[in-house]
Structure 1
């Protein structure tokens, strides 16, 4: 029972964090949905492109998350802070490159996705502003990863809720010119993202450099070791490969659907947005698994680490079962909340029903992957994602949509197959992993600041 309470204390705030992000997407789609199917399509295409940008650099926050969790467990937080310094330096370089790219690439990326002239005209500026906001997102995800690694999942939750509320309020106020503000239409939602991410960055920096300094000396510079830079680069590359394989798969998936027309794009975005609610418990418990397993590995308690991950998976699947049932039963009324256009929501319902059956596999795959990240089994995860996406998902999606002309049904059949296989393979790896030989990553003798 004590273990269950510990897991829930880590998971519930993380679920709330992911929930706030998901509800933001839902409310934003409802706000822009009244602007027409083209606006929904632009938001959907941009979300996929932003997901790929995030995936390209996600390895940094993923590496900080599990390495610092191990440092916390082994009471070597000076080393953890050194790793955080390296991550912040990486993030600074990346944010500068993203800012430069925001002035050059938006139109070409949308064109590459097969966007029609209407979407290109309206969506280029929207995507440009979203890219500018991503500069802050890079730092925010790294700060969140550090907070979670030391067991503080509440701070990311609070900041995420503030972020989400800011996005929604500004999207409505600026999107429709309310309360004397200018009517910016779809671009108002993009400016909402930029302001919200900037506010979140200020809050994260304050917590890290001011609030946590007393306990963890986060303002003290730790001499950076070349080995730690190499470790961060290698691990970040592996985890970015994992995320990028998944995101590129979704990019090609969305590109195939984009060519089916505006209604198909809008229905697909609604279905994905609703399905993202299923990721809330799985991502929350997956995050808890990474933290708990990583901390136990740091303490040298390998069997306790394995047990932590298993119990976390059981709890997560319980939540996922309830979601899958609700998703199937209430697909129609929920889909109608997004748009009054019958052609759009009726198409979305068939996709939601199809995906509701594979949510348990998807959830199990995410939570098991969280545990494997906690123990540092990143090579297996990256290779698996690479093979499944480029050998199965991407070829099948192209084949079923472009050769056999099965449209969205073909694309979503490929997506469901990918999720089932990922769940089964990650579960098999977790159960057969040699836990007795597990150890912390990149150990060097560093003075501890945690008693």
Structure 2
């Protein structure tokens, strides 16, 4: 009997270690998941409210938001490299190094954000002319994109600041910021799209103003927390005036693979979107609905990917290599379970989900429901891919 107990002891220790690791992953993941859901709700609320104006308005906002965030997400990959360096510095308890990394990442964010704002605003009209969509869709889409591109100088730093918080192991701050910005966006959409509370009914432009305002507020909150908060990350305004070329090079080298990955993904998505636009406004509206619904299923994957990246990075910084590897696999398992369940819901209730975005539009609902059901089949594989990719970034 004694020998049997000794044989089982290593497995018991391993099970306990895995249970503790899963608990840490869940504690890191749930605020990140909620944050991702809230960020995505900005686009979904726009889609749901604008969808009540008509298919042309819905198509315009769908195209505009895809272009905006495709560009922002590519450059926001700079936060991936910075977050990995921050996580390793935290694991090594190098607090001064943590703050230096954060400061240089934010400087990069402001510079790149300014470039995006300038180029995006001036090229919006030409881009929609090149897409060859209906004249009304082109006009409304250009209007939406120009309004939302201008504050990119602050939107990109918001994404990078959130990545820094997560790398430091604090996923709750980005969640709280997202909660506030989402509330501002919902109220702004309702007031400005439909003309409530004495405001004029601006339609698509109102949705753009609400989204831009919410994102700018989020950036200001993140900056305030970085400068005056009581976190391991603590910056001084003068930190933004220094340039450390060697550190910037490290951030960019680590960020380049993630940026290229996001670029390929975004270009593929945009090419596919342009192909769908050639099928007509109704088909694109259905595609936009299916994309909005499916995006919700990605949130657990993103959350567990963030948790895995943070866990892996901090354990690498502390030289705990076994725990780093196990963190990636455990995160993938948790995401697989959650996203498979979501896929079952998508497959079972596609028409109910599609009808939330375009009530009364029978053709749009039918096409959207078919796309939602197809997307449900890929959820398990997507879950594993997302989390393992996040772990490798750590």
TM-score, with structure 1 as normaliser: 0.80
**How many residues align structurally?**
373
Report matched runs for 1:213-224 at 5 Å.
Answer: 215-219=232-236, 221=239
Q: Deviations over 1:126-165 (max 9, x none)?
A: 1101111322210101110111111110110010011111
2:26 matched residue in structure 1: 8
2:128 is equivalent to residue 110 of structure 1: yes
1:54 matched residue in structure 2: 72
1:292 matched residue in structure 2: 311
Q: Deviations over 1:355-376 (max 9, x none)?
A: 11111111111001010111xx
Report matched runs for 1:71-150 at 5 Å.
Answer: 71-150=89-168
Q: How far apart are residue 168 of structure 1 and its match?
A: 1.4
Q: Distance in 2 between matches of 1:35 and 1:190?
A: 14
Q: Deviations over 1:393-450 (max 9, x none)?
A: xxxxxxxxxxxxxxxxxxxxxxxxxxxxxxxxxxxxxxxxxxxxxxxxxxxxxxxxxx
2:207 is equivalent to residue 189 of structure 1: yes
Q: Which residue of 363, 379, 387 maps to 1:343?
A: 363
Q: How far apart are residue 99 of structure 1 and its match?
A: 2.8
TM-score, with structure 2 as normaliser: 0.91
1:152 matched residue in structure 2: 170
Q: How far apart are residue 216 of structure 1 and its match?
A: 4.5
Report matched runs for 1:51-450 at 5 Å.
Answer: 51-212=69-230, 215-219=232-236, 221=239, 225-339=244-358, 340-374=360-394
Q: How far apart are residue 224 of structure 1 and its match?
A: 5.2
SS at match of 1:179: coil
Q: How far apart are residue 96 of structure 1 and its match?
A: 2.2
Gaps of 5+ in 1: 375-451
CA contact (8 A) 1:58 1:236 kept: no
Gaps of 5+ in 2: 1-18
Any runs of at least 4 consecutive aligned residues in structure 1 with deviations exceeding 3 A, and if so which? 220-226
SS at match of 1:75: coil
Change (3 A) 1:310 1:159: same
Query: What's the RMSD between the two structures over aligned residues?
Result: 1.6
Q: How far apart are residue 225 of structure 1 and its match?
A: 4.3
